[in-house]
Amino acid sequence: MSKIDHSLFNANEHALEQVTDLCPKCQSSLKIKHGKSGAFIGCSQYPECDFSKPLHEYETADVKVIEGSQCPVCDANLVIKKGRFGLFIGCSTFPACTYIESSKQSSDNKIKCPSCSVGYLTKRANKFGKQFYPCDNYPKCKYVLNSTPVAISCAACEWPVMIEKKTAQGLVLQCPQRACGHKQEQ
């Protein structure tokens, strides 16, 4: 049986915690630090020097190149990328070109916000990929729906928007107003 050299486990700094670059502000060494938002690179002379930068400069990964597609800005290929809010289409030369294909709905599909009557309900996704429909007039209007809105008025309370709900009988339209809750066939 061989002996284990325990001095290997007593290092002052872990090898992964060291960064080879120097701080651009004070020329001290940089270290990987951990904060409430995750890991980042920071100056070892903190709090005297407050330099910090993200651990990963750009947190997007190319998933697939879209053959035969061209970026309208620089004529490079477009790629499907994975970012913090899910999949999107962008230019393959990022960060040199920052073109991102718009995923916004066309204006004819938009539903007017029933609360403020100024904005429109737009489809969004949170950081976990869950879909929701807030008013695009935020922060003035904080109306939001967690189910798909439909531009049909409620037969009971005449609220201008209904939401789609899946039930055992199929899709049903339901009034989003808690006081009403009226359900009707689609």
63-92 pLDDT, tens digit each: 788 888 888 889 888 888 877 666 788 888
Query: Under a CB-based contact definition with an 8 Å cutoff, are residues 28 and 43 in contact?
Result: yes
* Same domain? 40 vs 62: no
Query: Under a CB-based contact definition with an 8 Å cutoff, are residues 70 and 99 in contact?
Result: no
Give the mean model confidence (pLDDT) for residues 40-68: 80
Amino acid 38: pLDDT: 76
**pTM here?**
0.46
Amino acid 163: pLDDT: 92
Q: Which among 37, 73, 74 is positioned nearest to 56, based on CA atoms?
A: 37
Amino acid 162: pLDDT: 92
Give the mean model confidence (pLDDT) for residues 91-101: 83
Amino acid 160: pLDDT: 92
Number of domains in the chain: 3
* Same domain? 121 vs 98: no
In whole numbers, what is the pLDDT of the chain averaged over residues? Answer: 80
Domain interval for residue 35: 17-54
Q: Is residue 62 part of a domain?
A: yes
* Same domain? 50 vs 68: no
Tokens of 18: 């060291």
* Same domain? 121 vs 136: yes
Per residue in 3-25, pLDDT tens?
776 665 655 545 444 566 788 88
Which residues contact residue 58 at a Cβ distance below 8 angstroms, ignoring those fewer than 6 apart?
Answer: 94, 95
